[in-house]
Amino acid sequence: MQIYKKINNIMKKVKFVTKDGRLGFGTNSFSIVTSDKLIELVRQHFVDEGVIIVPNQVDKGICIEGTTKNGGQKIRMEALYDVSFIDIEDGSKIVTRSEAHAEDNSDKGANKCLTYAVKNAILKVLMLQTGDDINQEVANKINDKQKVMLKGLITSTETNETEFLNYYSAQSLEDFSQAYYQGAVDMLQAKLKKVKK
C-alpha cells in the first residue's frame, strides 16, 4: 500500500495554492482556485510519484432547469463522484466521495460538475491551504540561512541547479518560495543518502 506514502510525498511538496479566479458578479462574487491553476501546480508531482486520478460518477445526477434574475435560462447539475487516487505500481488507492454542483445555460454543466468534484477532492486529500493574496505564503522567499542550506545540498548531490530551480518555478535561489523549501530539502537529503551509499 504505497499510495499513502506517495500522497504524503506530494503533500510535502505542495502546501499552498492561491485563489486566482472569481465567481459570480458584484457583491455576490467571491474568489476561487481555478481547476487549471490547481492542475498546473500539482500535475508534475503526481506524475513523478506515479499516482493517477480517476473520477467515477456514482449516480446519474440530476438537472434542474430554471431562470436567472434577468430571465435567462439556467441549468443546475448535481451529482456524486468517487474520486480515486491510484498508485500505478501496486494498484493501491485512496477513494474520496465528492458531491458537486454547477450552473450553466447550455450543455456544459456536466463537465463543470465533474471538474469541480475532482478539484475539490485534490484540495481535500492534499489538505491544501488556499488564499487570496499571493504574498501570504507562496511568495515568501527563503532566508539567507535556507539559501545556504539549499546551495550546499545542490552542490553535494551534484544536482543541476538550473533544472532544480525550473522544477520549483524559481528564477534563482533568491526567488525560491518558502512554501516549497522543506519539500526540496527532504528530496535533496534523500538524494544525498543515496549518493553516500
> Residue 181 pLDDT more than 90?
no
Sign of the alpha-carbon dihedral angle for 143, 148, 149, 151: positive
Residues 6+ apart with CB under 8 A from 91: none
Q: pTM score, two decimals?
A: 0.60
> Residue 69 pLDDT more than 90?
no
CATH number at residue 25: 3.30.390.80
* E strand intervals along the chain: 16-18, 21-23, 30-32, 51-57, 62-67, 73-87, 93-104, 129-131
Task: Give the pLDDT confidence of 95-112 residue by residue, as tens digits.
Answer: 999 988 887 777 777 888
Domain that holds residue 117: 3-131
Judge if 80 and 171 occupy the same domain.
no
Judge if 50 and 92 occupy the same domain.
yes
Number of domains forming the structure of the chain: 2
What percent of the chain is predicted at pLDDT more than 70? 82
> Residue 27 pLDDT more than 60?
no
Judge if 80 and 166 occupy the same domain.
no
- 138 part of a folded domain: no
**Regarding predicted confidence, which is higher, 181 or 70?**
181
Judge if 28 and 95 occupy the same domain.
yes
